[in-house]
Amino acid sequence: NTMKYIIFNWKSYLNLKESINLSKIISRFKKSKKFKIISAPNNFFHLALSKNFKKNTYATQNFDLDGRGASTGSLDVSHLIENKIKYTIIGHSEMRSNHGETDKIVSNKLEASINNKLIPIVCIGESLNIYKSKKTKNYLRSQINTIFKRSQKYDQIILAYEPLWSIGTGLTPELSEIDDICKFLTKILEKYTFKKINILYGGSVNLSNISEILKLQFVNGVLVGSASTKSSFINYFK
């Protein structure tokens, strides 16, 4: 089995000191062939963290498309590049629900990120209603078709499948369902051109299910929210 991406999405859970403490733990891990650990701290803490932990890898939780200049409150791609950030989450469900990020915007952000050589972590996922009415695959297919372009040659992309009903709820699909969806995504992405594509699962990943999820054939890693703010969880990867 190849290396798994382990992405910690710290959302807005942590203050600077807590982010430093977790970064310290991660920085002491031996270089691993099994796991590639990427932390997504609060965007405001990036400079402090990347300066102190040069060997850690960080992602932003978002960036904006307003460009440089007169756009108060925005975080431009160029600011990420300037601070040597290599990865960025795009289309997280909380950006979608709290900030109106649509698949069309996600598609535009994807384009901006690849134009700037950022590695995007693109999030997709279905609502509970869609899941219950067994329309998950159709929904994910339409998300993919809106977000990705067939004319584009993509460099490296990370795609995170996060069922909305699983985020922060303690609920997850069955292991077999997760693998089946990731297999499905692998298949439908074949019509696009990628240098490298990794498909991750996210949603209520924790110490009790992590090892089983990482064993799944079509799952190349995990995107973890609240559990990733606990040192006990982080130490699993040492």
Residues that bind ligand 13P (CB under 6 A): 9, 92, 162, 167-168, 202-205, 223-227
Q: How far is the CB of 69 from ligand 13P (least distance, A)?
A: 30
Choice between 50 and 209, CB closer to ligand 13P = 209
Q: How far is the CB of 123 from ligand 13P (least distance, A)?
A: 7
Which residue in the block uniquely carries the two structure tokens 């799944």?
216
| Measured CA angle at 27 (ends 7, 205), to 5 deg | 25
Choice between 91 and 179, CB closer to ligand 13P = 91
Q: How far is the CB of 159 from ligand 13P (least distance, A)?
A: 13
Of 94, 126, 162, 177, which residue is the catalytic one? 162
Q: Maximum Cα–Cα distance for the chain, whole Å?
A: 49
- Residue 92 falls in the annotated catalytic set: yes
Q: Which residue number has the CB closest to ligand 13P?
A: 225
Choice between 106 and 227, CB closer to ligand 13P = 227
Backbone dihedral angles phi then psi of residue 165, each to the nearest 5 degrees = -75, -5
Q: How far is the CB of 227 from ligand 13P (least distance, A)?
A: 6
Helices 175-188 and 136-147: crossing angle in degrees, nearest 10, is: 40
Choice between 56 and 62, CB closer to ligand 13P = 62
Written as six digits, the tokens of 182 are 């990731």
For 10-34, the DSSP string reads: -TTT--HHHHHHHHHHHHTSPP-SS
Of 92, 94, 101, 126, which residue is the catalytic one? 92
Can you list the alpha helix ranges (DSSP code H) found in 45-158?
46-52, 77-82, 93-99, 103-115, 128-132, 136-147
Choice between 46 and 72, CB closer to ligand 13P = 46
Question: Cα–chain-centroid distance for residue 104?
Answer: 18
Return d(Cα 210, Cα 233) in angstroms, integer.
Answer: 9
Q: How far is the CB of 153 from ligand 13P (least distance, A)?
A: 27
Catalytic residue set: 92, 162
